[in-house]
Structures are given as structure tokens and as C-alpha cells.
Amino acid sequence: MPNIDISLSATTSDGTTLVDGGNVTAADSFSIVISITAEAGFNTLNISGDVASSAINRNDLELASGTTDAEVTLTVSTSNSLGDGSIDFEAVDEEGNTATASFSFVVVSPAAKIQTAVMLYAPLGDSSSQTFYSIANNQTYSLGDVISTSDPVSASIDFGYYYGSSDNAALASPAEYTIYDLSAWEITKCNDFSCHNHHKC
């Protein structure tokens, strides 16, 4: 019986080698290179498992009859569902001989985004203090920064800092920020805070 072999190699979206059974990040992607050697000539690669089932034949790869070596790259998009997954491959040669291989993976949650050393300064009369913060941009802004630009910066501001005589140290959503007049802002967000370990809110 003519020999037929199938081998797999995989990499994550950032180019790191991914071993069989390794972790892949949810809502990301990874690639598997399927290499096939078939003495009788490659005919078809069947793909099934935790991907849409498909079949790729030598015509799809524009290979002549009798071509012994074939290589297919499969890009797999991972879902948001965490847990185990696997993909099965079956190579078929021109005589109907087959070889199979399977690749397993574990979909894991991505690392949380951490933003450290965010320093917000209490407001100043000249509007120059870095008082406001945009979570999405991970950037601080002064009132002057926001009102002096034509960019829609105000839409990205999530909260500002002030120190009040009775409120003491406080964070406020733009919609509730009363220290400055923010009426010139195109958008003032109304975000929510909830205290986790004390009763001050």
C-alpha cells in the first residue's frame, strides 16, 4: 500500500508556536499548516471538528494529478466560548488511502487590560491641570485640552477628579462634574461607579 502521511504545525496570531493541546485566546485566531505527503498522489483533505467542515481537493490547490506533496494553511477564528476544542484532518490519496491527524486546543480568556499610575490632578482656575481621564485612550486631559481641540475628545472622557470641601477626594462622571462648566463639551458621558469595599457612595 502506498504511503500517506499528514503532519501539523500551528502558530498563534502573534506568530508564536502553538503546541497540540495549547492555549489560544478567545476571540482571536490561530493558524494550522497541514502538510501531506502521498506516494500515490494527493487527492483531498477533509476538515472537521470545531470548525466548519470542509474538503479541499488538489484542484482547489491547483495541483497536477500525481502531485505527492501538498500543504494547506487553515486559519481558525476562536469564539468567545472558553474550553476545549479540536480539529480533525483526513488526507486522501488518489487510490483512496487515508491518513488522519487531530489538533487540540483550549480557548482561554485573554488577560485583563491593566492601566497603572493614572494620576489625575484637582482642577485649577486656568484649566491646565490634567483632571480628566479616558479609559479607552488611557490618557489624561485638562479642561483646556478638551475644549481647545476640534477632535471629539469629550466623547472619550470617562471621569474627572476633584477635591471638595465636603466631598473630599472624588471622581465624577462628566455629566455630574460640577467644578468646571462643561457645557462647551460636545458630549458629557454619564458613567456609573459603585463602591466595592466601603459605604461612602
Partner 1 sequence: MVTVSDLETALAGVDVTDANGTVTNLSVNDILMFKTVDNVQGLIHVSAITGTDGSDGMIELEMKLAASE
CA dihedral 78, 79, 83, 87 (to 10 degrees): -50
**Residue 179: CB minimum distance to partner 1, A:** 10
Task: Name which of 29 and 54 has its Cβ closer to partner 1.
Answer: 29
Task: Name which of 18 and 143 has its Cβ closer to partner 1.
Answer: 143
Q: What is the 3-state secondary structure (H, E, C) of 42-68?
A: EEEEEEEECCCCEEEECCCCCCCCCCC
**Residue 150: CB minimum distance to partner 1, A:** 22
**Residue 133: CB minimum distance to partner 1, A:** 8
Query: How many other CB atoms are found less than 10 A from the CB of residue 87?
Result: 20
Interacting residues with partner 1 (CB under 8 A)? 25, 27, 82, 108-124, 128-129, 131, 133, 135-136, 158-159, 161, 163-164, 166-173, 175-176, 189-198, 200-201
**Residue 74: CB minimum distance to partner 1, A:** 23
Dist CA 70 CA 6 (whole Å): 10
Task: Name which of 19 and 118 has its Cβ closer to partner 1.
Answer: 118
Q: What sign for the dihedral angle of Cα 63, 65, 70, 75?
A: positive
Task: Name which of 44 and 140 has its Cβ closer to partner 1.
Answer: 140
CA dihedral 33, 35, 96, 2 (to 10 degrees): -160
